[in-house]
Structures are given as structure tokens and as C-alpha cells.
Amino acid sequence: MIIMGLLANMFTALLAYALPIPELPAPTGSYPVGTLTFQWTDMGRKDHYAADPGENRELLVQVWYPAEQQDKRESSSLMTADERQIFAQQLGIPALLLDYFKYVPSHAVVNAEVSNTRQQYPLILFSHGYSSSRLFHTTQAVELASHGFIVASIDHTYGTSGTIFPDGSIKPFRLSDDQFESSEAYRDRVGQVWSDDISFVIDQLERLKGRQTASQLAGRLDMDRIGVIGHSFGGAASYDAIFDPRVTAGINMDGTLFGFKDQSASAKPFLFLYSEAAQEAIDLILRTSAFTDAQFEEIGITKEEFETEANYTLLEMKHIQSLLNNKGEAFYIAGTGHLNYTDIQFVSPLLKYISLTLTGKLSPERTARIVNESIVHFFKKNLMEEIDSNADTMDRIPELHDMTDLFDND
């Protein structure tokens, strides 16, 4: 019995280290934050990924916004019990192991009154990554809201780890991993659905402008100042969404592009934020593309074989270069991996030992601060036409490196 007790205590201690209760960074802006959730159906689109081919596209959208002062003890939890159950199923682990998420506050109060400091606030549409969730970008959404933006975080149905709608219905992940990896055409089709989701949500929010609606957001959205931001595949969707004439500016966090070959360079401000892992991969491809025939022979392939394999990436790099010559910007954050742009980086300190392409050596707290300062700075500049002089700007952050010269590599 004594040995079993010791083993139980050791297991508990190990679990507490591997899966501590995460502490999401508190927002730094002057506004408290409120949140509302909407369930909207697009009657003009059928959902190609639903089990029922006649099902219309249905979306869950969580809105974060500047609020009146609230009791911080009323802050909602990051995930509900049902959401923890879904994520546990996807990870193949007992739901009990994620039970600690009920203690993680989102730093936002459900149904709080909208702040009366301003009559209207700029709108930002947020798009998560492939098989991810809006919930994993809570820190960024809350941070933007605390600085005076209304943020609409979209769950792209059937492309998330799982979505639970307010009416109790559950939409699981239904995209094809094999086709997503192997087919450019498949990725483009999924991407079109996601960018159409963004435009549809803008349509719905425009309907809230009128005072005739019951929503407290009615009349509070500045629909002349709209931004888009996304991570990974959602970053690509955000880039495509800037071609919606209602969108002013956008950000792609560590994502590629789709459908770019048929589009001219955008004249709108657009920011690419990369991880160091992505920067190293881009640098390797660009350097290899300049190899001589002798160098290609040395690594065992021909130049033609390399160009066939890397053609999509090389076209994408050329397209991004044209954006940087216009109103685009590109930076990478040293010491970061792909998941450092999500709240997943706070889940466990063991992630950095699994793969540096997932989370890098830079601490989650420092990474989140850099990302948050960068996106707030960009949107204040391009949607509010103001810059917070007290915040670190792009050229003051030592871990942030300009990538313009890398892409300008002919």
C-alpha cells in the first residue's frame, strides 16, 4: 500500500508538471472585455463537407469586444465541459486529463455591456488553422478587444477539432487529411469555403448595424474599418479575404497561401508574421533554387526535379515579394515554432522538447507578448490610424526580424 501510494503521488506530481493549469496572459489594453456567441446559417451555400449534402453552411462565431467595467470573478472559462470532451477525443486521451481547463479564465465576461467610451469600434475577423479552433486564439482576441477592437472569431465548421453550437448540435472534423496534404486543388477548394465564411460573417455583422436588432452590438461596429487575421491555413484565408472590398488590412500568422496565382498584388496593408522554423524552411528553398547544376547533382536531384517539387512554394514566394514591394510587410520571431502563434503553447512545458517546429525555445509568455504587440500595433496603425507610443513597435523588438531581403532574392 505504501508503494502504491508513493507511485500515485509521483504520477500526480509528473502530471502536474506535464499538464499544469495554464495561465493565459491578461490583456494589456485599457478596456475590460466582453464576449458573445452567435450561430448563423448561410442559406445561400450548401456545406460540401457535411454528411447531409443538403445541409446549409452553418457557423459559430464568438465575438470579443470592449466592455464596461466588470467583476473579474465573472470571467468565463476557456472551455466548456463539452468542448473539453471533444478535444480529448481528438487527442485520444481521457477527458479527465483536460478537466483542469475549467480553471483557466478567458479574461472576458459573457454578455457584458459594450463600452460607451466610443460609439463605434473597428471590426477584426479571426480565422483559426486547419483542424484547430477559435478557442486556441483566445489570448490574441481578448488582447485586441482590450485595445478597442471588436473581434469576430470564426469556427470554420468541419475544419475545426470540433464545434459545439449554442443549440447543442456538434459538428466534428470532416476534412480529408490525405487530400489536404496531396492535392493543391483540394486545399484551394477548402480555402475558398473559409474565405467565403469570412465574407458571410461580415454580411451578418452588417445586419447588426441597424438599431432594429436586439443585439447589444447593434450600432457599435465600425464597418468602414475592417481587418482580417488568421493562423496557418486561416492565415491564407485571411489573405484571400482582403480582396473583399470591405476589408481594409490583414495579417497572416505563419501560414502559406492558396489561390494566389490568379490574383494581382494587393494594394492593401498586409503583414506576414512567421515562426523561425518557417523562416528557415523558406530560406532553404530559396537558397536551393539558386544552386548550379553541379550542386544539384551533388545532392542527387536535377534542377528540373527540384523545381517540379518546389514549384508551388517558389510561386508563392514570388507573389509575396510583389506584396512586399507594395504595402506588405514580413517578419519572423526568433526562437519560435508554428504553435507559438496559438494558446496551445501554454498547455505543457514539454512541447518544446517534442519538436522545435511546434514550439521554439522562446518562452510562451515572451512569444505571446511579441505577437500581441505586433498585431495590436499593425491594426491600430491601419484601422485606427494611431500608434501607441508606449508599446514596443516592430523595430524595437529584438526577436523580430525583417524578412524583406530574404524574399528579394532573385
Sequence-separated (6 or more) residues with CB below 8 Å from residue 343: 22, 24, 78, 135, 136, 137, 138, 139
The reply to whether 12 falls in a domain is no
Q: Check: CB of residue 96 under 8 Å from CB of residue 19.
A: no
The reply to whether 242 falls in a domain is yes
The reply to whether 8 falls in a domain is no
The reply to whether 273 falls in a domain is yes
Q: Using alpha carbons only, give the angle 372, 373, 375 rounded to the nearest 5 degrees.
A: 65
Query: What whole-number distance in Å separates Cα of residue 363 and Cα of residue 286?
Result: 29
The one-digit pLDDT tens for each residue of the chain (410 residues) are 444 333 333 333 333 444 556 678 899 999 999 999 999 999 999 999 999 988 999 999 999 999 998 665 566 766 777 777 776 666 566 766 666 667 778 889 998 999 999 999 999 999 999 999 999 999 999 999 999 999 999 999 999 988 988 888 889 899 999 999 888 899 999 999 999 999 999 999 998 876 555 688 999 999 999 999 999 999 999 999 999 999 999 999 999 998 766 666 678 999 999 999 999 999 999 889 889 888 988 888 888 888 888 888 888 888 898 899 888 999 999 999 999 999 888 876 555 555 556 788 999 999 999 999 999 999 999 999 776 555 556 778 999 999 998 887 65
Residue in this structure with the C-alpha cell 505563419, named with its chain if needed: 254
| Count of domains forming the chain | 1
The reply to whether 372 falls in a domain is yes
Sequence-separated (6 or more) residues with CB below 8 Å from residue 117: 31, 66, 148
The reply to whether 69 falls in a domain is yes
Question: Amino acid identity, residue 379?
Answer: F
**H helix runs in 61-183, sequence order:** 81-91, 138-146, 177-182
3-state SS of 148-193 is: CCEEEEEECCCCCCCEECCCCCEECCCCCHHHHHHCHHHHHHHHHH
Residue 30: DSSP 8-state? S
Nearest by Cα to 163 from 181, 136, 123: 136
Query: What whole-number distance in Å separates Cα of residue 61 and Cα of residue 154?
Result: 5
DSSP string, 264-322: PPP-S-EEEEEEHHHHHHHHHHHHHHT--HHHHHHHT--HHHHHHHHHHHHHHHHHHHH
* pLDDT for res 24: 84
| Domain that residue 280 falls in | 27-407
Strands of the sheet containing 56-66, edge to edge, are 109-110, 33-46, 56-66, 150-155, 121-127, 221-231, 249-253, 270-275, 328-333, 400-402
pTM for the model stands at: 0.88
Ramachandran bin of 151, using left for φ above 0, alpha for ψ from -120 to 50, beta for the remaining angles:
beta
Q: What is the CATH number of the domain that holds 90?
A: 3.40.50.1820
Q: Check: CB of residue 268 under 8 Å from CB of residue 250.
A: yes
Q: Using alpha carbons only, give the angle 151, 365, 329 rounded to the nearest 5 degrees.
A: 55
Instruction: Render pLDDT for 315-348 as a digit per residue (tens, 0 to 9).
Output: 888 889 889 988 899 999 999 999 999 988 887 6
Query: What whole-number distance in Å separates Cα of residue 311 and Cα of residue 317?
Result: 10
Q: Kindly give the pairing relationship between strand 33-46 and strand 56-66.
A: antiparallel
CA dihedral for 93, 12, 363, 269, sign (positive or negative): positive
The reply to whether 181 falls in a domain is yes
* pLDDT for res 210: 60
Q: Check: CB of residue 137 under 8 Å from CB of residue 62.
A: no
The reply to whether 335 falls in a domain is yes
